[in-house]
Amino acid sequence: MAEHLASIFGTEKDRVNCPFYFKIGACRHGDRCSRLHNRPTISPTLLLSNMYQRPDMITPGVDPNGQPLDPRKIQQHFEDFYEDIFEELSKFGHIECLNVCDNLADHMIGNVYVQFREEDEAAAALAALHGRFYSGRPIIADFSPVTDFREATCRQFEENSCNRGGYCNFMHVKLIGRELRRKLFGRYRGGGRYHISRSRSRSRSASPRHRRERDYDRRDREKDYRKGSRDRHDRDRDRGRERDGSGGRRRHGSPGRKSRSGSPPAREGSEERRARIEQWNREREEKQ
């Protein structure tokens, strides 16, 4: 019985716990939901509810005065917000993911999810955000049960085929540009890699958009590797020339190779080589 309850926990078959709250940390029914919302007491993920206020909140693509908005200005407004939040929250620890919902439903609009590497970092950020304001509005922050954003995001939205639009119950994550992504997450670069602001799950295959992002990352790593190889080759060649002293390439042996005595072998002159050849010829004639 216990194994069965554990296997259905957080799924549609679970009649006790709310699966939507378990997956996305929010529920359209709120406190009126007939199932339990198990709020975590500690988590590496924080939810900042309804924090992002998009400039076209009333009507998509139109400002409050009824004037059409340039999509580039909307994206720039979002990226300015994203960078501002990232810089502030990164003071408390290593940010693994920072996702902003592009949904329109009341329980998800403008939700910001930030996942830290350690739970202690998330707890420090939560304590610092208590009682603070952003753009004249109070910040409502709490721990979130979401740890796997691959299970929380809408697969159809990633494939540009979601027919529910902004009122979908799964996350429609708003993306930032590649340059900003490199600028922010590039500080965590190690060994030619940088973090992608989205967790992965074994239970769901990668969408075309995620495959394209991985292709970009692989090409960048290969480009960095080739550049590093060329730099190392140039350095080795310059060192060899400095050891040689002639500014050219060694003809005998590899650069820097030494004899057993510890000093590089001396070159023979043309007269010595001719004398040795004449000696070989005389020895051959004597044998014949």
The pLDDT-based confidence of 204 (bands split at 50, 70, 90) is very low
Q: What is the pLDDT of residue 276?
A: 80
- Is the residue at 15 inside a domain? yes
The pLDDT-based confidence of 201 (bands split at 50, 70, 90) is very low
20: domain CATH number?
Answer: 3.30.70.330
Query: What's the mean per-residue pLDDT of the chain?
Result: 77
Parallel/antiparallel/unpaired status of strands 137-138 and 133-134: antiparallel
- Is the residue at 214 inside a domain? no
- Is the residue at 232 inside a domain? no
- Is the residue at 92 inside a domain? yes
Q: For 210-264, how does the pLDDT look when each residue is reduced to its tens digit (9 = 90+)?
A: 555 555 555 565 656 565 656 666 666 666 655 555 444 444 444 444 444 455 5
Number of domains in the chain: 1
CA 271 centroid distance within chain: 66
Structural domain including 25 reads 1-189
> What tokens were used for 71?
């999509």
Please tell me the least confidently modeled range out of 145-159, 166-180, 250-264: 250-264
- Is the residue at 164 inside a domain? yes
- Is the residue at 65 inside a domain? yes
Decide: pTM greater than 0.85: no
Closest CA to 221 of 252, 243, 189: 189
Q: For 65-90, how does the pLDDT look when each residue is reduced to its tens digit (9 = 90+)?
A: 888 889 999 999 999 999 999 999 99
Q: Which helix (H) or strand (E) holds 47?
A: strand 45-48
- Is the residue at 210 inside a domain? no
- Is the residue at 241 inside a domain? no
Is 126 within 8 Å of 142 (Cβ atoms)? yes
- What size, in residues, is the chain? 288
